[in-house]
């Protein structure tokens, strides 16, 4: 019962995220711009962020309560496949790419030798090999370093590998944005008495991420296309499904049609992400 409620809550939160993304891409007001002012007027300005989170969680909870009334049979992870699996891998990797990238980028710029060399080793090691190598390492080597009583399914191992791969590339994009920030920004933050954490979160990182929007979106698009490599290690994604369709006795000879359909689908997804990036750049005036 608890697992079903948590699943419904996660699904509702994803629905809200995608709805907000669609509204923003169309130039409309996002859900946060519609709901947050109603709450922020009742609270002090300093807890505006808490009101933002509270409203989103409240809306997600309402949707989750509605979805929990629907009786659905749970589907084992081993039976996940097709376009749904592609979206799961790409969505999770894209979501985790920026947090992992920020941690690795800040770690590489750290003055502490242990953190600096550890972050640099992870970044250079992951960026020196193709994604398929990282996937094979995650599937074959990761279980060796885990306790004997701890076992993850293949999808979890792939998610960890893809997130690490995306975070390593994102770290270099973010590090480029951090190096482009003038030194005067750091000096101004020090003058205001801000510490390292407040300086990065409130002043430096917002400017760096804003300047690196084109590179970040390019990494996201590449990551979406690279998720098709999981079919090589046995995950039943959309590419493996297309191959199985061509080998089915009822669809013998149908090799071109599934590939054309997949090409059109990926073109629509990548083109939509590209247009959203351009729209975001215009709204944030990145070129100025």
* Residue 205 main-chain phi, psi, to 5 deg: -60, -40
pLDDT tens, residue by residue, 100-145: 988 999 888 888 889 889 999 999 988 888 888 888 888 887 777 7
The pLDDT score that the predictor gives to residue 17 is 55
Lowest mean pLDDT among 20-29, 76-85, 168-177: 20-29
Q: Domain coordinates of the chain in residue numbers?
A: 78-229
The pLDDT score that the predictor gives to residue 186 is 86
How far is Cα 240 from Cα 246, in angstroms, rounded to an integer?
10
How far is Cα 274 from Cα 25, in angstroms, rounded to an integer?
11
Do residues 185 and 203 make contact, with C-beta atoms less than 8 angstroms apart? Answer: yes
DSSP H helical ranges for the chain: 2-25, 31-40, 48-68, 82-108, 113-127, 131-140, 154-180, 183-191, 196-199, 205-211, 213-226, 238-247, 256-284
The pLDDT score that the predictor gives to residue 118 is 92
**CATH superfamily membership of 78-229:** MetI-like (1.10.3720.10)
How far is Cα 247 from Cα 258, in angstroms, rounded to an integer?
12
Considering the chain, what percentage of its residues have pLDDT values greater than 90?
A: 3
The pLDDT score that the predictor gives to residue 279 is 84
The pTM for the full model equals 0.69
């Amino acid at each position: 019962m608890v697992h079903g409620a948590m699943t419904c809550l996660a699904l509702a939160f994803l629905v809200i995220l995608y709805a907000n993304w669609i509204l923003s891409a169309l130039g409309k007001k996002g859900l946060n711009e519609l709901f947050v002012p109603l709450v922020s007027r009742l609270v002090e300005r300093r807890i505006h962020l808490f009101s933002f989170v509270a409203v989103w969680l409240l809306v997600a909870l309402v949707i989750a309560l509605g979805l929990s009334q629907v009786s659905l049979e749970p589907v084992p992870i081993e039976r996940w496949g097709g376009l749904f699996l592609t979206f799961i891998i790409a969505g999770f990797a894209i979501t985790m790419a920026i947090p992992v990238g920020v941690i690795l980028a800040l770690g590489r710029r750290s003055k502490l030798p242990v953190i600096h060399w550890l972050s640099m080793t992870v970044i250079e090691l992951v960026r020196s090999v193709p994604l398929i190598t990282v996937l094979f390492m995650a599937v074959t080597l990761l279980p060796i370093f885990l306790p004997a009583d701890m076992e993850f399914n293949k999808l979890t191992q792939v998610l960890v590998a893809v997130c690490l791969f995306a975070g390593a590339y994102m770290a270099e994009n973010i590090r480029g944005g951090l190096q482009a920030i003038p030194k005067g920004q750091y000096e101004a933050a020090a003058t205001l008495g801000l510490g390292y954490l407040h300086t990065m979160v409130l002043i430096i990182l917002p400017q760096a991420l804003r300047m690196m929007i084109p590179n970040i979106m390019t990494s996201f698009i590449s990551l979406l296309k690279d998720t098709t490599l999981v079919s090589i290690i046995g995950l039943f994604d959309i590419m493996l499904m297309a191959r199985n369709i061509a080998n089915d006795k009822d669809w013998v000879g149908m090799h071109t049609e599934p590939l054309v359909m997949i090409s059109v689908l990926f073109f629509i997804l990548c083109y939509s992400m590209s247009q959203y990036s351009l729209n975001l750049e215009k709204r944030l005036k990145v070129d100025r």
